[in-house]
Each structure stands twice: as C-alpha cells, then as structure tokens.
Structure 1
Amino acid sequence: MKAEFLDPAVAQYILDRSTPPDSLLEELAAETIAATGDSAGMQITPDQGTFLTMITQLTQPEVAVEVGTFTGYSSLCIARGLSGGTLHCFDVSDEWTSIARRYWEKAGVTDRVTLTLGPARETLAAFQEPVDLAFLDADKPNYPAYYELLMDRLRPGGLLMVDNTLWSGRVADPAETDARTVQMREFNDLVREDPRVTVVILPIADGLTMVRRR
C-alpha cells in the first residue's frame, strides 16, 4: 500500500470500495513482483489503475502518452479506456516492457499501443503529435524535463497526470532534505507556479498531480 501518509485503515477502506482489478491485472501484478523483486514498487496501485481507465474514458483522447511504462500495468489501464485513440509509451527497458507487450496482447489492446525504447528526453523530443492525455511515472530527477516536453505538446484543455508527487508524504515535512524529496518538492513548486496550467494534487496512492493545460 503506497498511501503511507493516510491512516492505514482509511487507505484500506478506499481500496476495498474502489472497483478492483480483474484477473489479468492481478496476474500482471503478481508477475511483476516475481520478475522485478524490489523494483515492483514502481508499479501503480489498483485504485490508480481504475482511476486511469476512468479518466481515459472521460477524456476520450485521440493521442495519449505515457512516460515510464515499466511492466505495463498503467499502460494497460489507459489502453483499455481508449475509444479509438492511440497510446504512445516511452521507456528505456526492453526487459521490463517485454512483459508489458505480452499483457497488451493478452488484453487485445496491442493495436492501440505504440512503444518507443530509449531515453525519453530524446525520444519524446522527437515526438511531434499534439497530445490530449499524458501520464508521467518515470525517473524522478528528469521530471522537470519531461514536464516541459509534455507541456509543449499538450493541447489546450489537455490533461497531464504525474505520479509519486507526495513522495510518501515527505514533501510536506521541512525536516526531510534528502535529494529525491527536495527534487519532488521543487517539481511540485514548478508546476504550481506555471501560468499555463491549472493543477491539483490528489492523495491517491503516492500522490497523483492533475495538470490541465489552459
């Protein structure tokens, strides 16, 4: 459970009363734990998955982008919510995304997903399509760079979702001064001060920032 800043009973209550993952997502989550060990914590939570699918269904994007695919849980949830659009995924790991590709095929969404491998600062810079919906869940030190690349491509009214922005609640504690916490705190301030957007941080899992391009 990632929502460490919530009372555990409240966090569990939220999970128990959200639409649960189906058997395919549960299978993917289990394989991710077996295949990646301690890195499995990078996978989004079931309630985030439900939320991503719902937001995709509500926004009906023609072009969606994901930066940081890992083993494919979030991309599968977004792809399932599409109604004719395409999801473009950017990641550096062929090993981990090979799991994602298998599950896209199992779910019957392969035709909705395009995967580009390589450093996202380079591959995303080469991507020139206007974006309707984006999900950012990649290496945290590069969040500001990814944010600018995505904002340059996000349509007016487009939506960007950014994961891990509460950083286990440490961003709110001035006594926490480790590098990653400071980086996330600075990123949150950067977004808040951006005149191009309207922003709110939701206390889902480890914090999910919703950014709407004006």
Structure 2
Amino acid sequence: MENTSKQSIVANNVILQSEDLYKYILETSVYPRELEPLKELRNATANHPTAFFGTAPNAGQLIAMILKILNAKKTIEVGVFTGYSLLLSALTIPNDGKITAIDVNRLAYEIGLPFIKKAGVEHKIDFIESQALPVLDKLLEDPEEEGSFDFAFVDADKGNYWNYHERLIKLVKIGGVIIFDNTLWGGFVALPEDVVPVYKREWRQSTILFNKKISEDPRIEISHASIGDGITICRRVC
C-alpha cells in the first residue's frame, strides 16, 4: 500500500509539471484574458534567440493581479529584456503611475518599445540603461525615495539577487511587494549538481543560496510559487 501511495504521488507530480498541463493553463486561463498589446509583444519576442528570458504569461497574469490588489502606483523593475512584464505593469497601474525600469540592454527594450508606444503607456516608464546596483544606490541617497515604492519586480542576473533585495527592501514600503523571477532555475535547484549542465551550475548555486537566505529574512513574508520558472513573492512587513 505504501509503495502504491508513493507511485501515485510521483505520477501526480509528473502530471503537475508537464508541458501539457502548462499549455492547458495558458490556453484556458491566460491567453483568453491576455491584453492585445501583450500578445503582440510576446509574439514579437518569440523568435529572439533568448526569448526564454521573457516573463512567463501565467506569471504575468499573477503579477497584474498583485498590482491591482496593492493599488500600486509607483513601481520598479530590475531587468527588462523586451518588456513584457514592463508593459503589463504599465497597462495595470493608473495613468499617473510611474515605473523605474533598469536594464543594461537598450536594444532588447527597443523591441518592445513600439508596443509600449502603441498602447499609450510610454509616459509611465522611466527606462534607465545601466547596471542596476548604481541606480538603486543613487535612489537610496534620497531619503524621500526610501519606502516610496509599492512594488518591485526582479528578473536580472541571479548572482546579484541578494544585493538587489537588500536595496529594494528599503525602497519598497511596508506592505509592499517584491517579486523575484527564475527562483527555481529550470528545476535544477532540486537536482544534484552532477546532473546539471556545467554552464548552469554557477547561477544554480547562486539561486540556491538566495532561496535559503530569503526564506530566513524576518523582514518579509514569502510565497515561493512554481509558476513559470519559479517566482518568489515577498511582502515587506518591517
């Protein structure tokens, strides 16, 4: 009986992690509600050699809901790529809302820029072409910026996730939310290192260390969700 139960659990886990189920979620609950500008940008990004950098549409749907629950008006995004999550945020926050968007690659951002302009939300975005840490440190030099952001989204170099967190926890207000993307790193965080491709090992290890540290951070409440490539939702409590 015990072996049967274990086999059933394994079988259920395989189903819950299957491509077919992910496709079902997208086609049933995500794509029918995806706004047209987001669909156009997602399709435009599909042929990019690093299209997998983009935010998963089902994760985007959850982010939009969180933004609405927070009544977010002032947000920050570390890592933009072609701008799917950026456009989604700009479409969700009020017309007088503002997003500080930071990325080292303006060329990728410019793939999404025509769709941002077409959607009429470019005025909400302050795009800064730069490494993120200097920008975050500059913001923290202004006392009025501390605790002024409602929401932050991070999808950038995994080795700096904790450095970003230490700065964002000061910039985001108490009750505000920080979301980190790719915190399951393709599922490799749960596998022995010897079965992980060599080129993925460094960021796998960085992600494992980050997940451990953030799970122990008393300044936040967290939910680690297996959506997309894994997202960690952090609510600042002190």
Q: Is 1:157 the counterpart of 2:178 in the alignment?
A: no
Higher helix share: 2
> Could you say what secondary structure the match of 1:127 adopts?
helix
Identity between Structure 1 and Structure 2 (%): 33
Across the aligned residues of Structure 1 and Structure 2, the Cα RMSD in angstroms comes to 1.8
In structure 1, list runs of 5 or more residues that go unmatched.
none
CA positional deviation for 1:23: 3.2
Alignment of structure 1 residues 124-139 onto 2, 5 Å: 124-128=136-140, 129=145, 130-139=148-157
TM-score, with normalisation over the residues of structure 2?
0.82
Give the total of aligned pairs: 209
- Residue 37 of structure 2 is matched in structure 1 by 24
- Cα distance between partner residues in 2 of 1:111 and 1:101: 12
- Cα distance between partner residues in 1 of 2:22 and 2:117: 32
- Residue 135 of structure 2 is matched in structure 1 by 123
> Could you say what secondary structure the match of 1:90 adopts?
strand
Select the structure with the greater relative contact order (CA < 8 A; seq sep ≥ 6). 1
- Residue 65 of structure 1 is matched in structure 2 by 76
TM-score, with normalisation over the residues of structure 1?
0.91
Return the letter of the residue paired with 1:33: A
CA positional deviation for 1:19: 3.1
- Cα distance between partner residues in 1 of 2:20 and 2:191: 22
Q: Is 1:141 the counterpart of 2:152 in the alignment?
A: no
Aligned to 1:100, which of 95, 112, 124? 112
Q: Is the Cα contact below 8 Å between 1:65 and 1:88 reproduced in 2?
A: yes
- Cα distance between partner residues in 1 of 2:139 and 2:74: 11
Q: Is the Cα contact below 8 Å between 2:40 and 2:115 reproduced in 1?
A: no
- Cα distance between partner residues in 1 of 2:22 and 2:162: 29
In structure 2, list runs of 5 or more residues that go unmatched.
1-14
- Cα distance between partner residues in 2 of 1:144 and 1:17: 35
CA positional deviation for 1:5: 7.8
- Residue 41 of structure 1 is matched in structure 2 by 52
- Cα distance between partner residues in 1 of 2:112 and 2:99: 13
- Residue 200 of structure 1 is matched in structure 2 by 223
